Structure 1
Amino acid sequence: MSSTALRRSLLAASAVLVTAGVWLAAGTASAGTLTGTLYRDTDTPVARWLAANPGDSRAAQISSRIASQPATRWLSNFNVGTIESEVAGYVGAATRAGQVPALTVYGIPNRDCGGASAGGAPDLATYQTWVNGIARGLAGRTTLIMLEPDSIALQTCLSAGEITARDQALATATRTLKAAGAKVYLDGGHSAWNAAAEQARRLANAGVADGDGFYTNASNFQSTANESAFGRSVLSALSGRGINGKRQVIDTSRNGGAAGDWCGDDNTDRRIGRYPTLDTGDANIDAYLWIKPPGEADGCAYPAGSFQPSLAASLATGAANPPTTTPPATPPTTPPTTPPTTPPTTPPTNPPTGACGATYATSSSWQGGFQGQITVKAGTGAVNGWAVSWTLASGQSINQVWGGVLSVSGSTVTVRNAAWNGSLQPGATAEFGFIANGPAGTSSLSCSA
């Protein structure tokens, strides 16, 4: 999975004002186009874990080195009905704090080519409706937006026509969000993926000329030195295409240790990298961001996006302490007003009486369709492979499934486990999701193992 922005005005003391959609932090050094302090949300999966596990031996290190730092808020739960209020609440809180908010927008159709982070909008027209809601929530307040991780670097599942349609959708989204005050950065892959000239060609086709630049390393662990060199090559290639004045954002959330394959769920050689800042000291780089929040899984050993304290602790082990005295994140004292960006990982308290059980929840809905999520839970014995079945209601059809393998026979739907989530210990859970046409909801679920 992704990068980023601008901010400023003057103020009377050390606060930051919002003026004409542009921020300026008095007396703050920088080098790219941005200055100011990044917004640190206190209602995050890591903060909620810390609140629930204050006595855990890993808590102090996770709090001081991870939860204390700003990371981007992911807009990944596709819901056209609530997205405007979610964005307005988040950006409004950052504005009141005099800080710079950063969002990662992750809802493009056929996201992640149907891999571990699949999902998103059912089609490009509905996607634009969702983006319009994000723009309304911004309300002219400058925000760093990392637009659609992997949407440009990863195109192997798309036909030529589908690539063209996606490029047009990204270009339209870029213009829409720019008009609403955002600083928009498009997917630049990373230094061990596509060649710089090829990535520049793809960025140009996707409308980077109307944006502020591109972000890299959101889906990998390449060093900051490698990424900045790659970024300079991409900028040079863009300049050769007549596209100038763009900047790079680098994800440093997990690049302080070994590089290697894309998945960090079970790699203990990863470490958090440079702490997030807009003070980059490099004229080509607008920000070092934590786009991928440290401790959230890639989808190999754990569900994509779920917070895993073992991953967070591994990333924090041996890392330097933050360069500032920013206090650790404190948990919210009231329930969050918006749903978390990742599904809850706490299973129901009672195991099912059979080999396994399944429960359904509607993640979001829109006119003519909905997104569902099903949690599978093992009973009192271990499970090595599961299948969930239900009957489609009149007018329903399944468009896309992630976290499982779909088969349909008449009106009967069956989803079997994916290769990575079929083995469950007693009481353990696995999750899969789907996008469907028709009225939201399912009939009774049956689970077999």
Structure 2
Amino acid sequence: MRTPDGIRRAAPAPGSPTPRTAGRGRAAALALAAGAAATALLVATQTGADAAVQGSLAADTQFYKDPASQVVKWVAANPNDSRTPVISKRVASQPQGIWFSNYRPDTVTSDVRTVTSAAAAAGQVPVLVVYEIPNRDCGGASAGGAPDLAAYDAWVTKFAAGLGSGRSIVVLEPDSIALTTCLSSSELANRYASLSRAGAAIHAANPNAKVYYDAGHSSWNSASEQANRLRSAGILTNGDGFYSNVSNFNTTANEVNFAKSVLSALGNPSKLHAVIDTSRNGNGPSGSQWCDPSGRKIGNYPTAATNDAAIDAFLWIKPPGEADGCAASAGQFVPDIAYQLALNASDPTTPTNPPTSQPPTSQPPTSQPPTSQPPTSQPPTSQPPTSQPPTGTAACSVAYRANSWTGGFTADVTVKNTGTSAISGWTLTWTYPGDQKVTSAWNAKVTQSGAAVTATDLGYNGSLAPGASTGFGFQGTYGSNNTTPTAFTLNGAACTVA
């Protein structure tokens, strides 16, 4: 369901790219962060909410910002990129979920301790995402997990041993309760029992940790169905609440209403509250598209000042800019996605948290699209500054790789300058032999007229030195024929097909 830096995010099936792989320099970066706590950015904003209507977290709770996150590293490595100021101010400045998704039982305790000790030194609360349940994502883009439930139980115990005694938020296994179609009845019962044991192990290791269970989202299972599943997974005994909307796009208002319906179906136990992922829901969903849809925007900035007794926090559990699996490998940071999410967002120093009590616009369906989708970020709709018009012809090669399903596909295209002169600005054209239609694109502007397709650079990726290459991608639909094109032209020159 998400990420590549080892300690966080989801790991894909064996042999596929890791959505999140732990950075080797994480411990050093976190140690430096702890020492620099005095200069840490304020990541949770007090909005004047009355404590009487707060959730179980204080309104001024500050959440921990990971100095080793993909977006922070990208900003540091790209100071002159035209997108950096927006991404830095509106995305990298904010606290986001830290995913533990790689099965490394020998190091997980120290990996967790590195994060929690740095957060404690800064007086902040880390958001830790546990993502290691066997058969996670039902074999989708973020498939993987521990070898079996016995190994998972042991891994969770080791995870819990790194929590220390400070406050922390544990987001326990996205999709594990909402997405169960791949499990037999006995497998499901065993998973529920294991999730209950996981909550108990975390609380036993650190009573100050809050454990939130998977509630899917408002467009998935009904509130009563999700409540029954949560009850079976031990939330009443071993949970502090549940989370919704992870890696999805539903509006905050709809998610709040859904959360309250789930709480009601659970009997409104006083100890249970909800947290909502608002990392990409500023424009709501894009129809039924869940995999890197275009035109999305970051939502509420992370805060515990929700002004709602049922809602503990709005969090960025899915880091903005990390793909769902369509724009790039699941969990890979894509700057264009982050840029487009942030481009029209408000200034984070003056966040506005909209009312959370608006009635839902529609009843949630009973069938379930996955909450954690292959790539989790979105192909941009508006484009960064464009480059100068292309000059001259070019010697080139093109690699076109498509991933298809019934009626739809994504394609990754790599363009390489195989000539001896630099290219300043490029336009790639081809004609589809089938009935494909491009619907959205990233890292290039793609237009289509009939079967003819034209892709142009976005300025920042328009210069190609001899031997250099660049890539872009798009999503599309087709009726009966998705045959791969065999001829491409770059700036008027025919390219070799790789």
What band does the TM-score fall into relative to the shorter chain? Answer: 0.5 to 0.7
Compute the displacement of 1:429 (Å): 9.4
Matching of residue 215 in structure 1 with residue 238 in structure 2 = no
Aligned residue in 2 for 1:127: 152
What amino acid does structure 2 have at the position aligned with 1:195? S
State the partner residue of 1:186.
213
2:227 is the counterpart of 1:200? yes
Larger deviation: 289-298 or 119-128?
119-128
Greater shift in the superposed pair: 303-312 or 136-145 = 136-145
After TM superposition, the score normalised by the length of structure 1 is: 0.67
Structure 1 residues 199-208 or 137-146, which shifts more? Answer: 137-146
Looking at structure 1, the residues matched to 342 and 155 of structure 2 have their Cα atoms a distance apart, in angstroms, of 35
Report the equivalent of 1:47.
72
Distance 1:81 1:232 in 2: 40
How many pairs does the alignment contain? 326
1:9-88 equivalence runs, <5 A: 30=51, 31-35=54-58, 36-88=61-113
Q: For the Cα contact (< 8 Å) 1:258–1:269, is it kept in 2?
A: no
Give unmatched runs, 5+ long, in structure 1.
3-13, 16-24, 326-379, 387-402, 405-418, 431-448
Q: Secondary structure of 1:312's match?
A: helix
**Secondary structure of the residue that 2:128 maps to in structure 1?**
strand
Would you say 1:224 and 2:252 are equivalent positions?
A: yes
Deviation at 1:51, TM superposition (A): 1.3
Change (3 A) 1:422 1:280: closer
> What's 2:276 paired with?
250
Shift of 1:384: 5.0
TM (norm. structure 2) is 0.61
How much does 1:119 deviate?
1.3
1:38, 1:100 within 8 Å by CA — same for their partners in 2? yes
Q: Which amino acid aligns with 1:32?
A: G
Select the residue among 313, 317, 337 that pairs with 1:311: 337
Aligned counterparts, 1:406-421, within 5 A = none
- Number of the residue aligned with 2:443: none
How far 1:177 moved relative to its partner? 0.7
Q: Within 2, Cα distance between the matches of 1:178 and 1:29? A: 29
SS in 2 for 1:85: helix
Residue type matched to 2:329 in 1?
P
1:277 aligns with 2:300: no
Report which structure shows greater RCO (CA 8 Å, sep ≥6).
Answer: 1
How many Å separate the matches in 1 of 2:471 and 2:136?
24
Structure 1 CA distance, aligned partners of 2:470 and 2:136?
27
Structure 2 SS opposite 1:138: coil
Q: Quote the residue 1:138 is aligned against.
A: 163
Query: For the residues of structure 2 that align with 1:175 and 1:91, how far apart are their CA atoms?
Result: 19
Paired position in structure 1 for 2:194:
169
Q: Distance in 1 between matches of 2:279 and 2:104?
A: 27
Q: 1:186 to 1:205 in 2, by over 3 A?
A: same
Assess if the C-alpha contact under 8 Å between 1:221 and 1:262 holds in 2.
no
Percent identity between the two aligned chains: 51
| Alpha-carbon distance in 2 for matches of 1:33, 1:385 | 49
Structure 1 425/180 Cα, relative in aligned 2: closer, same or farther at 3 Å? farther
Rounded Cα–Cα distance in structure 2 between residues aligned with 1:275 and 1:422:
32
Superposition CA RMSD, Å: 3.0
CA distance, structure 2, for counterparts of residue 127 and residue 28 of structure 1: 40
Extract unaligned runs of 5+ from structure 2: 3-36, 39-45, 352-395, 417-468, 473-497
Counterpart Cα distance in 2 of 1:310 and 1:428: 14
What is the alpha-carbon distance in structure 2 between the residues aligned to residue 324 and residue 95 of structure 1?
26
Pair 1:320 & 2:343 matched? no
Amino acid aligned to 1:199: Q
Note the C-alpha offset of 1:163. 0.7
Is 1:104 aligned to 2:129, yes or no? Answer: yes
C-alpha distance in 1 between matches for 2:175 and 2:132: 11
Aligned partners of 1:137, 1:49: CA distance in 2, in Å? 28
Give the partner amino acid of 1:221: F
Q: 1:385 to 1:55 in 2, by over 3 A?
A: closer
How far has the Cα of 1:300 moved from its partner?
1.8
Q: CA deviation at 1:142?
A: 2.3
Counterpart position of 1:268: 294
Q: Which has the larger radius of gyration?
A: 2
Distance (whole Å) between structure 2 residues aligned to residue 244 and residue 190 of structure 1: 21
Match of 2:261 among 204, 209, 233: 233
2:186 is aligned with 1:158: no
1:261 is displaced (CA, Å) by 3.0
For 1:424 and 1:111, how far apart are their aligned partners in 2?
31
Return the alpha-carbon distance in structure 2 between the equivalents of residues 230 and 176 of structure 1.
28
Q: 1:420 to 1:122 in 2, by over 3 A?
A: farther
For 2:470 and 2:128, locate their aligned partners in 1 and report how far apart those are by CA, in whole Å.
32
Determine helix, strand or coil for the equivalent of 1:145.
strand
Amino acid at match of 1:156: T
Aligned residue type for 1:224: T
The equivalent position to 1:116 in structure 2, one of 127, 141, 157, is 141
The alpha carbon displacement at 1:43 in A equals: 1.5
